[in-house]
Structure 1
Amino acid sequence: MSCKVIDADVVIVGCGVAGLYCALNLPRALKVVLLAKTTVDECDSMLAQGGICVLRDEDDYESFFEDTLRAGHYENRLESVDMMIRASRPIIDDLVKRGVRFARTASGELDYTREGAHSRPRIVYHEDITGEEITTHLLACVRGLPNATVLENTCMTDILEGFDAAGARVCRGIVAEDAAGGRLQINADATVLATGGVGGLYKHSTNYPCLTGDGCRVAAEHGVLLENMDFVQIHPTTLWTEKPGRSFLISESARGEGAILLNAAGERFCDELQPRDVVSGHILRQMEAEDSSYVWLSFERVAREELEHHFIHICEQCRAEGYDIFTEPIPVVPAQHYFMGGIHVDSDSQTTLPHLFAAGETCCNGVHGRNRLASNSLLEGLVFAQRAADKIMRDRFAADTAARLAAAAAARSRFVAGSRDVTDVALQCGAI
């Protein structure tokens, strides 16, 4: 079978927020190729409802740090948590400059909501489709780049290996397959895996079915270190239905704004603002005690105006399933939601194979620990995708500088050798 070959400077596998933001932070002089396994809108970044965390002010640092650690059972990598929190405000400012429309107060300031396990409101949002708002704008920015090409319905099947000047093993790009089954080889100095999570491997998940851990599988086949592969998060509240397919998420912010969980008798049975794994445990035990397939989520304590403006799409989806959240509770059940483990990376998103990077849900940089704090996912993906781009630029500059120095040294060597040759001839001829 013939193989089409593309030469690039950077290849990015995945078009969620991590992949897109990495591309946007690379120099325009570099040729960048991005791959989407299916269509660009089938990524979990599009599905994020609640919002994105941000450090409100310096007084919020300690509580933000502690909330992230407490949710993660104190198994987080402290350096990564610190980096994410301190980079959050510049990231939000950059998103606003790129056109992302976060909710505002009457005075025009950013509006903040609260979610489970947060000690204070620090989450900015756009209705209940924050992920779609951010990802759509980033995608439009990437499509406007003269140096970037997006290939849809193109699935990575392997990575390419080679050797650097010192003989060390390095990544040299990827192998992929297009929708027609054609083989594609993309050669690149730097490769970024942003392939998302593992939800497609589960019967009940909020993820798209195409997310099957491709990045982790391929990395493992090449001996790249993986980390905490058992760290899988179950989200407490997805809309219960007998219909097959992806589970519809009922955002954490619904409980943050006052929605409560009820048992079959209409009684509240837990604190809804505990970390996700704790609330999921309460729900599963309640379901077991009642021999039920779900519990109930009531919006009776949420202001009608909040429902109409903040949870527009949740209202619509529930109505399509036959439930009116303005007048009745809805059935909810836990489902697989997020993957905290993955390809081990350092603070610059580098894997253990040089020239191979990973960002977003497919990697483990230690930010989340054993359980992710609500609305840290978009932020983490953006922050560490930017760090990957910065490292790629530094490596490129170092390589270019080394090449120029080597060329200059070679030129000097030739000049000196040439000078000696002239001197030798002159001596032989008796001129000197």
Structure 2
Amino acid sequence: MFFLRQILESFRFAWQALRSNLLRTLLSLLGVTIGIFAIIAVFTLVDSLERSVKTSLSFVGDRVVYLSKWPWAFGGEYQWWKYFQRPETKYSEFKYLNDQLENAQAMAILDFKRTVVKYGNNSTSSQVQGTTYDYNRISDVSIASGRYFTPQEMAVGRPVTIIGATVAEDLFNGQEAVGKTIKIGGANFLVIGVQQAKGKSLVSVGGNQPDIKCIIPYLIFSKLFNSGVPTFDVAIKGYESDEGLLELESEVQGLLRARRGLRPTQDDNFAVNRPEAAVKFVSAIFTVLTLAGWVIGGFSILIGGFGIANIMFVSVKERTNIIGIQKSLGAKNYFILFQFLFESVLLSLVGGLGGILLVYLLSLIPFGSLELQLTLSNVLLGLGVSSVIGILSGIIPAFSASRLDPVIAIRAK
């Protein structure tokens, strides 16, 4: 109990010392404030960018592989000339895989075309997506009003469509869109549903633009836009029990190689792409950015730490007489050490809180589609780094103060 009381007394002495030299205190914590702001601002920016990019990639669905002519590549040289002669995936191959695959719970064709859609005198640019019935089992299709496609509509390719929230607003100006007829590619389509608004994302990849999208059955999409060879991808969703989707990938490769008559010595003339590759590539980039944040902020906070250490040495020099009086009255060495150590840590923590506050104010500023979010982990990181800097900056001055001889200290000028 006596020990705790002395620690609290040390803390009180430290607080009084900081208050009595307010200007010096503010100048000292400024370096730490800038350093913590630099570190936490970079971390917050990187976390927000990574979250936005991964959300933008979420259209690929969960536990899904993509069959395509072209492999996805991230970094390095892309040997396009090796893939150019590959055949495009045929609709008959899609039907064959859909009938034969045992490790797939859903399959859907994905094909896209940018065009103008019209309703009366209103028109807007839209991304038209041709797909098959199981698309809503692979990717999220949130219907705000209306309904999803029926199997019969998809099977015969009826001219029906589900439109995005932005398309509905541009064409109908807030009026009910379901049941109206719009023109897509010069053909009439009945609007059967409107998707919920998703908002803009920082990065729009592939079909990740639901607000400006019109979804239609693939068969009628192919008649309208595929005058030559179709160039669609096939999304295939595996089961939860298939760890890493290895069984699904092997089955797709085996069936399609047999269908295309490839010999064992021949390479695949198709690609089975995994969305995890994109996520891993993005994570690797942000790991480098995080390291850069540590380097940039580290230099700033190092300067702040030296500033605090310098002020603490000055403080010890100014209060040498007081230290001598305290020790002559029975103050223990740890009482003096804690007094200056608390002062250093408190100074650093206040500076860290100032830096965190600046980052929080920065997060309130709108940056378009990028939403900055200061997380609890980054706040704790900032406070932790501030505490460590305070201890490192104050330990030597505090130790030297605690070792002073009381007689010499009292006589010091």
TM range (shorter): under 0.3
Q: What TM-score comes out, normalization by structure 2 length?
A: 0.24
Provide the TM-score with structure 1 as the length reference: 0.23
Pair member with larger Rg: 2
